[in-house]
Amino acid sequence: MKKLISIYLLLIIATSCLAQKEKFTVDEEKYYQTVVSLFQQFKNKQYDTTQRAAVFKQYVYFDNILADTSKNTILQRIKFFDEVFPRMLHYVDSVGMENLDAAPTRLFKADKNFFKPFESEELKDLLPFTLTYYDKNKPEKPIGVLLFEPKTHKLLAWILLNQGGYYYFLTFNMV
């Protein structure tokens, strides 16, 4: 009887996970794989500047910044990246990657306060390129939003700012 109940519970969990994944578009699935691979790469491992080139090549969209004509600006943006990227990794480590998950932001419309920025003109067009991360124990309560570059499926920004009701993602070309 216990074995039958265990199998039944596993089927329910598997069906629930599959149903959630079926809501992902092809691009959203690629965004999801990018972020999962990124955090698996750095699980229990510190970021240092020797890993920067690999991070840019595989996970974080930084190409438009590197094409800037001002070497000083490029160096400032790289320095900023080296300061904020470890903080993101630290947050994931402190919460525990096993406790976090992400889903398309469009699925969080029920949370009016959270979804409000994506109804504005500034962010409406970016909605298809976002995933929202949340604590698996509180899936209805979003924590934050990740923005991806649509062609490469790399992470473009993970900080959404609100300045007096004007919302924007902090990307490295803004530094």
Task: Confirm whether 79 is domain-assigned.
Answer: yes
Domain containing 169 equals 26-174
Q: Mapping DSSP to helix (H, G, I), strand (E, B) and coil, where does residue 27 land? A: helix
Task: Confirm whether 10 is domain-assigned.
Answer: no
Task: Confirm whether 4 is domain-assigned.
Answer: no
Q: Give 88-116 pLDDT, tens digit per residue.
A: 999 999 999 999 999 999 999 999 999 99
Q: Give 56-71 pLDDT, tens digit per residue.
A: 999 999 877 766 678 8
Domains held by the chain: number: 1
Q: Cβ distance 172 to 81 under 8 Å?
A: yes
Task: Confirm whether 20 is domain-assigned.
Answer: no
